């Protein structure tokens, strides 16, 4: 059996597609499974088990070579999780006998021609993991496990250990990850600083290299009264993941590190405002979800929620959530 899986969206989407990859491998242990991902998500590939061949979509002319490999792949099934013009093209290019995506594509007169089987899944009413798992129904896979399993390479673990040693972090530090590709997700800089000014806790700040994130982190640091270890823009994705795995706690907005922490079992406080945690929240007993406009932690998630501004989350809410998780026993260092 030869299966092609296509996920061309962001890192978080790819992480939440991992249970579907695992389910295909579990159902068909002898299958050849190929995975196509976006260039921005490529760093995660070594941590995804069960994949025999990978392709990276860079959006360049140089993509012609790997696309030739897809065209010659002799796939029986192609499953498109992305529903974009590019993924539709790759689906058609695959020549797979059965080409599957969601039935919402039927609304697109040209795009729908790339597929011959459509699966019903109302993305507005289910968690994103369940939405991805629903696409496996034509393969006879139902009620698959929702667990996100990532296996970090030893080299990434060693790099994270070197970072903790270089900064004398030990195994009792808290990571703050305030950044995102979307500025409307940013929490108030001065409030991040209020959190980081808490005594008795060693804080590390992580983030991307973009000018927008770096400016936000600079604003946070301008309000600090205590030293903080700034690793923003210095870590590759899997080293960041390994550092999160070693951390006592992650405090973050709706972002890829939130999904990494969920997959790696690290306690976390997650801040939501413009996005709905119903679709994205980590399914973990060691995660506290705070949503703008709600005074208490969110334990009940509903599909229809009005977006709120992040400033509606108070510093006290975040500190209280941190204290509730830090009072629990620490996990062993991986």
Q: Encode pLDDT of 269-284 as tens digits.
A: 999 999 999 999 999 8
In a domain, 60, yes or no: yes
Same domain, 109 and 173: no
Same domain, 129 and 165: no
Same domain, 130 and 176: no
Same domain, 315 and 191: yes
pLDDT of 332 > 80? The answer is no
pLDDT tens across 8-67, in order? Answer: 999 999 999 999 999 999 999 999 999 999 999 999 999 999 999 999 988 766 677 778
Task: Write out the H or E segment, with its range, that includes residue 205.
Answer: strand 202-205
pTM: 0.94
pLDDT tens across 212-245, in order? Answer: 999 999 999 999 999 999 999 999 999 999 999 9
Final residue of a domain: which of 113, 139, 165? 139
Same domain, 129 and 278: no
Same domain, 64 and 20: yes
For the purposes of burial, counting CB atoms within 10 Å of the CB of 130, is it exposed (0-12), middle (13-18) or buried (19 or more)? middle
Domain CATH code at residue 319: 3.40.50.2000
pLDDT tens across 181-204, in order? Answer: 999 999 999 999 999 999 999 999
| Chain center to CA of 173 | 22
In a domain, 331, yes or no: no
Final residue of a domain: which of 111, 139, 167? 139
Final residue of a domain: which of 104, 139, 174? 139
* Band (175; pLDDT cuts 50, 70, 90): very high
Same domain, 256 and 127: no
- C-alpha 176/C-alpha 294 separation (Å) is 21
Number of domains in the chain: 2
Same domain, 159 and 16: no
Range of the domain at 34: 2-139
| Closest C-alpha among 266, 257, 84, 265 to residue 185 | 257
pLDDT of 331 > 90? The answer is no
| Mean pLDDT, range 114-140, rounded to an integer | 94
pLDDT of residue 232: 97
pLDDT of residue 62: 64
As beta bridge partners, residue 98 has 77
Same domain, 16 and 78: yes
- C-alpha 291/C-alpha 145 separation (Å) is 27
Q: For 217, phi and psi rounded to 5 degrees? A: -65, -35
In a domain, 173, yes or no: yes
Q: Classify 26 as helix, strand or coil.
A: helix
In a domain, 149, yes or no: no
């Amino acid at each position: 059996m030869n299966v092609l899986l296509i996920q061309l969206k962001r890192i978080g989407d790819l992480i939440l597609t991992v249970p579907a990859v695992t389910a295909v491998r579990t159902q068909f242990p002898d299958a050849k499974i190929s995975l196509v991902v976006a260039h921005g998500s490529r760093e995660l590939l070594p941590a995804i088990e069960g994949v025999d061949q990978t392709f990276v979509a860079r959006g360049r002319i140089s993509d012609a070579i790997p696309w030739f490999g897809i065209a010659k792949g002799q796939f029986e099934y192609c499953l498109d999780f992305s529903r974009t013009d590019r993924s539709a093209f790759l689906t058609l290019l695959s020549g797979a006998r059965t080409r599957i995506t969601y039935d919402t594509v039927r609304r697109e007169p040209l795009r729908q021609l790339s597929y011959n089987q459509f699966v019903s899944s109302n993305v507005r009413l289910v968690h994103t993991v369940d939405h991805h798992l629903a696409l496996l129904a034509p393969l006879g896979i139902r009620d698959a496990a929702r667990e996100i399993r990532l296996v970090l390479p030893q080299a990434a673990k060693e790099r994270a250990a070197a970072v903790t040693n270089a900064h004398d972090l030990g195994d009792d530090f808290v990571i703050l990850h305030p950044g995102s590709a979307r500025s409307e997700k940013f929490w108030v800089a001065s409030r991040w600083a209020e959190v980081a000014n808490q005594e008795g806790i060693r804080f590390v700040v992580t983030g991307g290299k973009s000018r927008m994130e770096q400016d936000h982190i600079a604003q946070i640091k301008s309000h600090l009264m205590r030293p903080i270890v700034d690793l923003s823009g210095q870590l590759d994705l899997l080293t960041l993941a390994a550092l999160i795995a070693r951390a006592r706690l992650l405090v973050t907005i709706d972002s890829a590190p939130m999904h990494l922490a969920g997959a790696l079992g690290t306690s976390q406080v997650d801040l939501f405002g413009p996005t709905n945690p119903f679709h994205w929240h980590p399914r973990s007993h060691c995660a506290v979800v705070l949503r703008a406009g709600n005074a208490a932690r969110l334990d009940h998630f509903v599909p229809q929620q009005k977006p709120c501004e992040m400033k509606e989350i108070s510093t006290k809410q975040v500190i209280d959530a941190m204290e509730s998780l830090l009072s629990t026993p620490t996990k062993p260092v991986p």
